[in-house]
Each structure stands twice: as C-alpha cells, then as structure tokens.
Amino acid sequence: MIAGMILAGGKGERLGGADKALVPLAGAPLILWAADRLGPQVETLAVSARGDPGRFGFLGRPVLADPPEAGEGDWGPSAGLISGLSWAHAEGADWLVTAPTDAPFLPSDLARRLTGHEAAAAVISRNGGLEPPFAAYRVDHRHVIYGVVRNGERSLAGILRRLDALARPAGANEALAFFNLNTRQDLVQAEALIMEHGLRPPRFVAL
C-alpha cells in the first residue's frame, strides 16, 4: 500500500509572504492541483502543514501537524516527514510518497517510479542534482529516519543521502512535470502553460 503526502509548510516569501498552498492558479489553489495529480496514484493522501488545519478543509484530507518534539528547534521539512511516516504506518502503508504543494504539473506516474524496490528511499534527480520534495520512503525504515533527524540532519536532501536513496532521473522532456512555482512570474508562466497545453484546472468549491 502506498500513502502520499503533500508538503505544504512553505512560507511563500517570494510570493509576498502568502500561504503558498492557497495561492490560486487558474482559479484553483496550488495544493488542489498537487492533490489532483498525486491523489490517484496512492491509496491514501494527507497534507503536511503548520497552522490552522481548517484552511485545507476543502480537500477532505487529513492535515498532519509537526511532531511535538519538533518544537525544540527548527526541524524544517524533516518534521513533516516524521509526522507523515507515523501517519503512513498507522494507515498500514508500505511506502510514503511526498510531493510539494507548488508543483501543479507533477508526473502522473511519480509513485510508480519511486516505489517497488528494496532501497530505503528513492528521489527524483534532475539537471545533475536531487529534487528532495519528490521522494518515497519505506515506512518500515521510519525509526532509522527518525534517528537521523534526531541526530541533527534536518534537510530532506541530507536525509536521502544518509539513506543511500536511489536516484530516479527525470526525463529529458519533463521540465513541465517538475516546474515549481516560487514567484509571481512563475504563476504567470504557469497560467501560460495551462493555456498552451490545454490543461483543465481541478474543480474547486470553497467551503
């Protein structure tokens, strides 16, 4: 069983401090685009986010808070990973696949690419580097991962390296699939890509 988690803890500083997950793209919040792409690939899906979970009520998905011990310091995205692995274990999942909230065009076969092997984790690689938010972790390695974090490794890239994660190269024509939206200009570009490729926004009904 594969569980999925959308990483929605970003502050959106280059978007004027907006809650990045809720920034609209073609009329739908960014996180809904990510959920619409990742949801069909997994058996269960959650969101990792700080703050009021009620703002994601329209998704109908569980919202995972950081673990209490993360309050001891800035754990960054590793806090969400720990919570996600605990949740995935409780759900009976073998894998946890992660994706960022600001990748509205993520691949429809991401989970398949990153799971189904014996390694502790796998991650997408592109342009000679890793894309840490696009990764999968074996849930039965959660205690090892927790130990890595408790020992001071807080970056997802560092955790993946410590796990000797498999690198799954992105295809040569997949720039759109891993396009991250960080600025207002990125949003303008994404709107143009939606028109160019005839993409249909996910249906959004605000609560």
Tell me, what amino acid is at 4?
G
Q: What is the pLDDT along the chain (207 residues), one digit of tens a residue?
A: 999 999 997 665 556 567 889 999 999 999 999 999 999 999 999 999 988 999 999 999 999 988 877 765 678 889 999 999 999 999 999 999 999 999 999 999 999 999 999 999 999 999 888 999 999 999 999 999 999 998 888 899 999 999 999 999 998 788 788 888 888 899 999 899 888 888 888 876 554
Q: In sequence order, what E strands does the chain have?
A: 2-7, 24-25, 28-29, 44-48, 63-64, 95-100, 121-126, 129-138, 166-169
pLDDT value at residue 45: 98
Instruction: Give, in order, the Cα–Cα distances in Å from 168 to each of 47, 132, 136, 140, 147.
Output: 24, 11, 11, 21, 25
pLDDT value at residue 205: 55
Q: Is 86 in contact with 68 (CB distance < 8 Å)?
A: no
Full set of structural domains in the chain with CATH: 2-11+20-197 (3.90.550.10)
Give the pTM: 0.93
Assign 30 to helix, strand or coil.
Answer: helix
Map tokens 């696009």 to a residue.
134
pLDDT value at residue 160: 97
Assign 165 to helix, strand or coil.
Answer: coil
pLDDT value at residue 16: 55
